[in-house]
Amino acid sequence: MNINQRAIQMLEENKYDESLKLFKEAVEISRDVQSLNNLAWIYCYEEYDDTKALPLLEEAINMNSKSYFPYNLLGEIYCRQEKWESAKDILEKAIFIQSSKTAYNNLAVANYHLRNIEDAKKYFLLASEPSDFALYSHVKCLTEIGNSSEAKRKLDSFSENDNELVGEVDVADLYVELGCYEEAIKWFEKGWNSYWKQPNWIGRYIHSLLKVNNPTRSQELLNEAINEKIEEIKDAHEEECDEDWTESDKQAHIKELLNEKKGYEQMFEKVSSGYVPAMEFDISIQTACYLYGCNRHNHPEYKD
């Protein structure tokens, strides 16, 4: 068993200090693509320190790595640092070596932030599985470029039976963007009892109901949200404070709950007058294991 295999075994056994020591030792013995990449991965995902990982990956890539691992990992770091142009460039190189859904997704994220929506749309689709967040992001891109018919066709394919379903309220939100209020209401109803109730999406739900002339259901839902908020406020008052939850924290939390309750109380009139909360859309990068020699993911050791 070589030093890299021993390091990975220590990591699998949760002996992190011993593992890190071995990964560092491997770099000292030989600064090659495998040792540099694996230590960088440890810095990223065990130490949460991208700044230490960055120069190691740049060094590995300068060795003209024939593997996409260091390129994908460096692309992730650039995305986290919001260096979108750098992320785009390095992920394109990764995909040239070997494509992967993770790289396609992160390349789509970089392009989206660069406002290259057509490219983002293309790469989100390549990264997608049925009903998942990548496909959802693809549909969002379609709405942004004005291709509403294709967006609706893709959104209609989303199913509760798919393992990676993005979420009922998220699907509803996109239907609201398309002006398809009956479909939006159907999906909002599915998510009502399972989603954390927040003013933004509830406001969009109320907007949809009013668009189909159903004020009665709107009031029912708002009353339910208000009553739940009253219970939360009561529970918050009864919470005991400690060093991790101070009296100041408690009062700030109660104030926030009271503001949300007031928002629900005013929501019907506000939405009726034409206000529609903006859709909240946050895209996220994907991560993966890029450890050479990882048996769990069937990764071979690096070979030139």
Kindly give the confidence (pLDDT) of every residue in the chain, 304 residues in length, as a single tens digit, with 9 standing for 90 and above.
799 999 999 999 999 999 999 999 999 999 999 999 999 999 999 999 999 999 999 999 999 989 999 999 999 999 999 999 999 999 999 999 999 999 999 999 999 999 999 999 999 999 999 999 999 999 999 999 999 999 999 999 999 999 999 999 999 999 999 999 999 999 999 999 999 999 999 999 999 999 999 999 999 999 999 999 999 999 999 998 988 899 999 999 999 999 999 999 999 999 999 999 999 999 999 999 999 999 999 999 998 7
Burial 198-225 (b: 16+ CB within 10 A, else e): ebebbbbbbbbbbbeeeeeebeebbeeb
This prediction has a pTM of 0.92
State residue 67's pLDDT score.
95
199: closest CA among 151, 262, 255?
A: 262
102: closest CA among 134, 142, 132?
A: 134
State residue 152's pLDDT score.
98
CA distance 82 to 31: 28
State residue 304's pLDDT score.
77
State residue 303's pLDDT score.
86
Q: List beta partners, residue 245.
A: 242
CA distance 102 to 6: 28
CA distance 150 to 129: 17
State residue 243's pLDDT score.
86
State residue 12's pLDDT score.
92
CA distance 99 to 159: 27
Burial 262-272 (b: 16+ CB within 10 A, else e): ebbeebbeebe
Q: Are 68 and 91 in contact (CB under 8 A)?
A: no
State residue 108's pLDDT score.
98
